[in-house]
Structure 1
Amino acid sequence: MQVMDPLTSPKIGGNHLFCYALLFILIASHVSLSASARELKVEPKGSVKDLVQSSKATKIKRTVNGLLEVVLVDAKGLKDTERFSGGMDPYVMIKYKTQERNSPVAKGAGSKPVWNKRFSFRVQYPDYAGGNGYKLILKLMDKDSFTADDFIGETVIYVEDLLVLGAEKGKYQMLPTKYRVVGSNKKYNGEIRVGLSFTPIR
């Protein structure tokens, strides 16, 4: 059987040549698209960490003043410092750089105090003054009437990521989250639940 060359055969007219040329173009295009598809990478939807890295990469070029709000919800599993006088009266000293706020005393609440209070701090980002980086320090204390207040434990929350996202997006909020309370012996001493938000002031 003789194989006919479609390009040189005298029996194939102009229309046939056009069809073969079109077929050749379609095949070449398909191969090119397939190669491109293999090279295409679909990135997953960004996490908060990805958003922060992206925000830091763009580098906020001006100082942003804003309001850091701390919602002090409650605490659980606190080690009782009042073994003989019956029940703790916990409160929280909240510190950001040079600013300090004190929560109300949860009278007789023991190891499960509830506050549900909101506190505000004026902050800047970027801010290299005041020391302590971007740390929010929560010191849990037991109120005593006749002696010095007893230290229950401490929690440190790093809020730089919150400030970065709030500065770029106009506002950023973190729902109440549980944080470990560390006692004076550096061991676990319960947990505290805190919500955070940062809103730039225009």
Structure 2
Amino acid sequence: MAQGTLEVVLINAKGLENTDFLNNMDPYVIVCYGSQKRKSSIASGQGSEPEWNETFTFDVNLGDLVSPLRFWTAIVVQRMTVLEKLCNIPLESVMEEGKVPAAPYNVVKDQEFRGQIKVSLSFTHKTHRHGHGMAVQEESYGGWKQSSTY
């Protein structure tokens, strides 16, 4: 089973639906991987075009299935928090490539475009210690692992 660290850089969002008509909304984002959750800072007064430039890390234990990365927007309106599912990002490419450059992902609700969120992703395989005190970086090659002898 491969293990490692997933790093998510939440850069910004564009064109989010403004749900607070009287003021600029104060959005934040909840990023989820499996049961792990991270919360961004509140982008006070930034409305539908917030910028965060925040980094979140998640511990990953890869089995047969890779969970998608899930994003939720949260907006504080008159002391109430309104949550809305933003998007799911599949992680297979970042697990294989190790890094996915910053890219916008479409926000769709009820089959309607609701803006974009821009993130970059990277995955680092965890180094395992094998006998003789040697650290070996685990690598994956097309579904099988290269073995080594000492």
The normalised TM-score by structure 1 is 0.59
Aligned residues: 127
Aligned counterparts, 1:105-116, within 5 A: 105-116=42-53
Structure-2 residue corresponding to 1:7: none
- Among 157, 161, 165, the alignment partner of 2:93 is 161
Distance in structure 1 (CA, Å) of the matches to 2:58 and 2:51: 21
Give 1 or 2 for the bigger CA radius of gyration. 1
Alpha-carbon distance, 1:80 to partner: 0.4
Taking only the aligned residue pairs, the percentage that are identical comes to 35
Distance in structure 2 (CA, Å) of the matches to 1:127 and 1:102: 27
Structure-2 residue corresponding to 1:175: 101
Distance in structure 1 (CA, Å) of the matches to 2:125 and 2:47: 37
Runs of 4 or more, structure 1, over 6 Å off, are none
Aligned counterparts, 1:126-137, within 5 A: 126-128=63-65, 133-137=66-70
Distance in structure 1 (CA, Å) of the matches to 2:49 and 2:78: 20
**Within the alignment, does 1:79 sit opposite 2:17 as a pair?**
yes
Aligned counterparts, 1:81-160, within 5 A: 81-83=19-21, 85-128=22-65, 133-147=66-80, 149-160=81-92
Distance in structure 1 (CA, Å) of the matches to 2:101 and 2:3: 22
The normalised TM-score by structure 2 is 0.78
Structure with greater contact order relative to length (CA < 8 Å, sep ≥ 6): 2
Alpha-carbon distance, 1:141 to partner: 1.5
Query: Where in structure 1 are there 5+ consecutive unaligned residues?
Result: 1-62, 166-171
Alpha-carbon distance, 1:145 to partner: 4.9
1:101 counterpart letter in structure 2: R
Structure-2 residue corresponding to 1:190: 115
What is the aligned-residue RMSD (CA, Å)? 1.5
Aligned counterparts, 1:28-107, within 5 A: 63-83=1-21, 85-107=22-44
Alpha-carbon distance, 1:134 to partner: 1.9
